[in-house]
Amino acid sequence: MRHPVSTKLARAALRGVTLIEVLIVVAILSLIAAGVTVAVLPKFQEAQVKTSEQNARGIRDAVQRWRGLKGGTDCPTISQLVQDKEIDSASKTDDAWGTAYKIQCTEDDVIVMSAGPDKKEGTKDDIVVPKGVKP
């Protein structure tokens, strides 16, 4: 004769998983995903800004080298910098949001700008290198 507990376990194993159990697992996974998103997303956005600032500094350095080699006060485009091998053709020439950097040259300085995450120029999230300079 079978033991009543083993019969219950056998029936439970054959029955499978209930809808309530599945919903509970989905709810727990959703909470975990939301927590990870809240923790990781700001760091990702911060990394995008820092990467774009670094790239803008690299472009600014390339423009200064280009102007030093060519002489004068001309302002090159990104494609001229790549063509003249001041910037590696494999380098990232757009910001983290896919917008092209803008280069402004004055007689003695170079300003490289990105419209930032909102892709609108003239807003507070714009990236300007060197910092503190008004374009």
How far is Cα 62 from Cα 41, in angstroms, rounded to an integer?
Answer: 32
pLDDT, one tens digit per residue, over 55-90 is: 999 999 999 999 988 887 889 999 999 999 999 888
Cβ atoms of 74 and 68 closer than 8 Å = no
pLDDT of residue 95: 94
How far is Cα 63 from Cα 54, in angstroms, rounded to an integer?
Answer: 14
- Tokens standing for 91? 């380098």
Q: Is the pLDDT of residue 93 over 70?
A: yes
**Closest residue by Cα to residue 40 from 110, 116, 48:** 48
Ranges 1-15, 26-40, 70-84: which has the least confidence: 1-15
> Is the Cα torsion angle 88, 91, 94, 98 positive or negative in sign?
positive
Full-model pTM: 0.73
Higher pLDDT, 25 or 70: 25
When pLDDT is averaged across residues 112-133 and rounded to a whole number, the result is 90
Phi, psi (rounded to 5 degrees) for 133: -90, 135
Hey, what domains does the chain have and what are their CATH numbers? Answer: 13-129 (3.30.700.10)
- Name the residue type at position 3: H
pLDDT, one tens digit per residue, over 94-103 is: 999 999 999 9
How far is Cα 39 from Cα 41, in angstroms, rounded to an integer?
Answer: 6
How far is Cα 93 from Cα 56, in angstroms, rounded to an integer?
Answer: 9
When pLDDT is averaged across residues 11-17 and rounded to a whole number, the result is 70
Strands 102-105 and 127-129: unpaired
